A and B are shown apart, each in its own frame.
Chain A
Amino acid sequence: MMQNLSMHVLDIASNSVRAEATDLHIIMINSTCKDLISIEVIDNGKGMDEEMIQRVQDPFFTSRTTRRIGLGIPFFKELAEACNGSFELESQVNVGTRIYVSMQKSHWDTPPLGDLGDAVVLVWCQKETNHIHFDYKTDANQFSFDSDEIKAILGDEVSVCEAEIMMWCKDYINQQIQVCEEEQV
């Protein structure tokens, strides 16, 4: 169902937006030396209490009213388990949430990265007033995307959700990721 990692990024970060976060930090590590890929999403949303933290890891729980089964977090946890990695979920009510998944990079079941630029920009466009920071790290390189930097250039008249801006941001992020990967060889 979720063919690549960018789908999980989009999904998990969408939870943050729905939890009224205004500040989202997405960190992706892609390390050949450590044979590790990890995804971490940190937000300042409304958070969850202890009981909720336990319950959301069960696929038959959701706070939604439209549907009884929540899928996002259980899928993400399953990914870690299938790929010889680990899963961490920390949250505090009215403070925020941190969710982390690691995978063994060389594991057969570890999915490809997918379109990360697209995922980051789509999350931003769910609420364009949010601040989004995306870090991508390899063994030798690092790239940071910060929504404030883009907003400073765009000003108030043009929204990031306008087609040409969205597409540019996606391509920009993907290109920078490519650069991080290429310079390693």
Chain B
Amino acid sequence: MKSLADLQALREQAKKRLEMREGDADYRIVVGMATCGIAAGARPVLNTLVEEVAKHGYSCTVTQTGCIGMCTLEPIVEVYDKAGQKTTYVLMDPDKAVRMLESHIRDGKILDECTIASVRK
């Protein structure tokens, strides 16, 4: 049974993890969470991103936003680098989210097969 007391231990664990991530994060990941995104499956994508980032200590933040404006391409995930350059990933699922993190955030290589440019071709 979980009790509020467990939370104190977790707080310390989170603190340690945050101390290791010195300075600003290298990337900012934003997930579209409007009705269209939620209905298309943005929730598991967001959860996968949050969990994997913590697990591997990737240098990025994960946040939610509202409607990105392309409902048929949801779930949509935007990745901003430190210079503010944006890459838009579309039709995401948890598996693609993991591959995107490994390629883009860990190795610095855009995962071309999932970007908006790949569907607009």
Contact = CB atoms under 8 A, between A and B. Distances in A.
A175 B13 CA distance: 22
A1 B2 CA distance: 33
Contact of A153 (B2, B7, B46): B7
A102 B63 CA distance: 31
Contacts of B64: 122, 125-126
A111 to B, nearest CB: 13
A165 interface: yes
A66 B68 contact: yes
B54 A11 contact: no
A67 B69 contact: yes
Nearest to A71: B35
B10 A168 contact: yes
Interface string A82-116: 00000000000000000000000000000000010
B54 A72 contact: no
A153 B4 contact: yes
B28 interface: no
Interface string A159-185: 001111111100110010000000000
Contacts of A167: 51
A75 interface: yes
Contacts of B116: none
Interface in B43-63: 43, 46-47, 50-51, 53-55, 63
A175 B6 CA distance: 14
B51 A163 contact: yes
How would you classify the secondary structure of chain B's contact residues: helix, strand, loop or mixed? Answer: helix
A18 interface: yes
Contacts of A2: 38-39
Given A158-B18, A166-B50, A18 B4 contact: no
A10 B47 contact: no
Contact of B33 (A14, A153, A165): A14
Interface of A: 1-2, 7, 10-11, 14, 18, 64, 66-67, 70-72, 75, 115, 118, 122, 125-126, 149-150, 153-155, 157-158, 161-168, 171-172, 175
Given A67-B67, A70-B35, A163-B50, 15 more contacts: A7-B43, A11-B38, A14-B34, A14-B38, A64-B66, A64-B67, A122-B33, A122-B64, A125-B63, A154-B11, A158-B15, A163-B55, A164-B54, A166-B50, A168-B7
15 contacts: A1-B39, A10-B43, A14-B34, A14-B38, A67-B69, A153-B4, A153-B8, A157-B11, A158-B14, A162-B54, A163-B51, A164-B54, A166-B50, A167-B51, A172-B4
